[in-house]
Chains A and B, each alone.
Chain A
Amino acid sequence: MARSQPIAFLDARLVDPETGYDGPGAAIVVEGVIADVVRRPQIDSLSGDIRRIDCGGAMLAPGLVDLRVKTGEPGAEPKETLKSASRAAAAGGVTAIVIQPDTDPAIDDPAMVDFIFRRARDIELVHVYPAGAATRRCEGQRIAELGLMREAGAVYFTDADRTIADSKVFRRVLSYANGFGAAVAHRPADPYLSVGACATEGEFAGRMGLPSVPAIAERIMLERDLALAEITGGRLIVDQITTEGALESLKRAKDRGVRVAATASINHLSFNELDIGDYRTFARLDPPLRAEADRQALIAGLASGLVEVVVSAHAPAPAEDKRLPFAEAAPGGVGLETLLPALLSLHHEGGISLVTLIRAVTLAPARLIGLDAGRMAPGAPADLVLCDIGAPLRIDADKLISKSKNSPFDGRRLQGRVLLTMVGGRIVHQAEA
């Protein structure tokens, strides 16, 4: 129905990360692509069969591209399925999600890559892309079938939460993946310093009696990864940089011309280590929450462009995995539905421009993995989000669409209500009036 009928978005605040435009605008969508974009509120001489949507000044931007999403499918469907994650994404204005490969079984061969695409086609809500495992079963020992997975459509390679401790293996992964033009994402965390840790080392974790990891564990591993990226010429994605020290290492490497890009999770941009007070397991994350100075450095890195991409780090964990003592609880938080409003608070409170923020969740991740997304231009796919960026909302975890309700934002007041999400010209989510 909506697919074939042309739609005009009128009287919008257009945010286009490609051109850097943030101002009044309107857009027409025909047959799944953007047919026209104008920088004024109205379009003259619209034909009669066009459906008109009066945006009332709400933000119209490209749909979000989330590079780091976990579901429980296959293997742990009670946590989250591809379908429930897709619905959550649509509700959050996220039009493309990249599935992490540490499922059960892992996405470490072309058949599994194909399985994800096939399931996504059946669900038909948002774009779903698999990231392939860098090593078989994400065990960090033997290289997975990177070439075949790449051919099947895997958008990048990673062992997700697991670090590849063996430097020789990681060197070969970077080098081999590069031969197929693929980037490798890696979590920088020294595995030995990190053993058993559930908090960041410091006065607070010490007083709480929690096993902790020093912040430098991130920089130690990142320096290794950067050095290996440099000698292999491979493309490295730093998976969720969180500390001031690691940001300095990243800066130096970029200045030297190393092919590296870094993501930040919205959680580490929004919370610090004090949020685990009262042993709140919804704030138990991996990497653990850091000091406020780290959070500020991360925000500064995002504002300056040092950190290009923001991810939701969507990691569903059902109640039985979270209603445990802090150190025993599963790490991670759901984030697809809160990514955009949480990001907007960096605009409302942090003064970062909308274009910079929106770019970090649209054009920048799309370019990093070679997707045609994140543009507001004629011919671009009509993956769009319409958002009332000033609308107040209080996050109530129980009301989230995700099957798991472990949102670290539970109870937080944010601003930014997603009014409509469009994927390929089709409306996949519309807020109730």
Chain B
Amino acid sequence: MDEALGIERLIGERTFAFPQRHFLSAAALNRPDAEALLALADAFVALNLRPDKKLATLRGRTMVNLFFESSTRTQSSFEIAAKRLGADTVNMAPRNSSITKGETLIDTAVTLNAMKPDILVVRHGASGAADLLAQKVSCSVINAGDGWREHPTQALLDALTLRRAFGRVEGLVVAICGDVLHSRVARSNVALLQLLGAEVRLVGPPTLMPAGADQWGVSIHHQMKTGLAGADVVMMLRLQLERMDGAFVPSTREYFRYWGLDAEKLAFAAPGAKVMHPGPMNRGVEIESGVADDPEISLIQSQVEMGVAARMAVLASLAARLDNVETTRAPRG
């Protein structure tokens, strides 16, 4: 019970309330806010190890998961996080509902909004979709992935994982490898890890590197040998299978040969380097099972665990910004 109280104090004692009503982008964070979120998430990790994991921070609040793209781990991670904070949760998978009958994203959101949820967690295949929703609804919006652009809670949980594994993020050399072009995980991590003082490298075939990425403050490498040299962390990205087969890379086996992570390529990294992956993994395509499953080097299971704590931190921080007055205000449409 003391620990739980400690957390409530952490939430309450912040010198500045979390300044944003929505959580849309890691690039929009500043360092004090990011550090505060991580400190809070750290406390939630401890809470999540207790038999009684339940708090009342979000009691009476409703969180809706609105996932236009399928997801198992992110959706359940948000759901568990919200339930541990005492919120009621509803999962929506619009693929099976009226969205297929021509209803637009905004129609769906405005309809949901009328049911007065407090927090809307949205994943959508188009970049900027969460920002668009945030302009149109009166509740708080959390971006759980929009197109190629951002997946900010993933970056937060990755930073939390690194902080717990290395004791710091500052000064770490992180190599993000694979399909950077189509990766929201990469974009959020570039923003957040750089904000926290890490050195970020991007490694991958030229066809999967965004134009202008060299202006993001990162170094770009097309070979694992140079990209991984001396790296403390190797963060592998998922390669969508439809991107292979001649579209962006010639074949699965050629991709694995040059950019798939195995023990041999990992040896280029610093001694004791750790491996991460946002999941779900394509084993044998971007990562070899021997590396992914080795508890000495893989942080992948830890990332999943940290996911719940990081999302609890986001939810708890936003809770302070939720409306506390009865409202009859119609959403701007």
Which A residues are closer than 8 A to B by beta carbons? 201-210, 212, 214, 278-279, 320, 323-328
Contact = CB atoms under 8 A, between A and B. Distances in A.
Interface in B98-149: 104-106, 124, 126-129, 131-132, 136, 146-149
A405 to B, nearest CB: 14
Contact of A279 (B105, B132, B136, B210): B132
Interface in B67-110: 104-106
A207 B104 CA distance: 26
A199 to B, nearest CB: 10
Given A203-B211, A209-B146, A325-B128, 13 more contacts: A202-B211, A204-B212, A206-B210, A207-B187, A207-B210, A278-B128, A279-B127, A279-B128, A279-B131, A323-B106, A323-B132, A327-B126, A328-B126
Interface residues of B, number: 25
20 contacts: A201-B211, A202-B211, A202-B212, A203-B212, A203-B213, A205-B212, A206-B213, A207-B187, A209-B147, A210-B148, A278-B128, A278-B131, A279-B127, A279-B131, A279-B132, A320-B104, A324-B106, A326-B128, A327-B128, A327-B147
Nearest to B190: A207
Q: Count chain B CB atoms within 10 A of each CB in A209, A324, A326 and give the residue with the most.
A: A209
A82 to B, nearest CB: 27
B21 to A, nearest CB: 16
B184 interface: yes
Contacts of B327: none
Interface string B201-220: 00000000011110110000
B184 A325 contact: no
A201 B149 CA distance: 15
Closest 7 CB pairs of A and B: A203-B212, A209-B149, A279-B128, A325-B126, A209-B148, A206-B210, A209-B127
A324 B210 CA distance: 24
A208 B149 contact: yes
A207 B194 CA distance: 15
A49 B183 CA distance: 74
Q: Count chain A CB atoms within 10 A of each CB in B27, B106, B210 and give the residue with the most.
A: B210
Nearest to A204: B212
A275 to B, nearest CB: 14
A320 B102 CA distance: 11
Contacts of A202: 211-212
B286 interface: no
B232 interface: no
B150 interface: yes
B149 A325 contact: no
A269 B299 CA distance: 51
Given A323-B104, A326-B126, A209 B187 contact: yes
A118 B241 CA distance: 54
B1 to A, nearest CB: 44
A24 B293 CA distance: 84
Given A201-B211, A323-B106, A325-B105, A207 B127 contact: no
B333 to A, nearest CB: 9
Nearest to A321: B104
A210 B127 contact: yes
A328 B210 CA distance: 20
B129 A325 contact: yes
Contact of B211 (A205, A209, A323): A205
Q: Count chain B CB atoms within 10 A of each CB in A202, A212, A278, A324 and give the residue with the most.
A: A324
A203 B126 contact: no
Contacts of B187: 207, 209
B105 A206 contact: no
Contacts of A278: 128, 131
Contacts of A327: 126-128, 147
A207 B147 contact: no
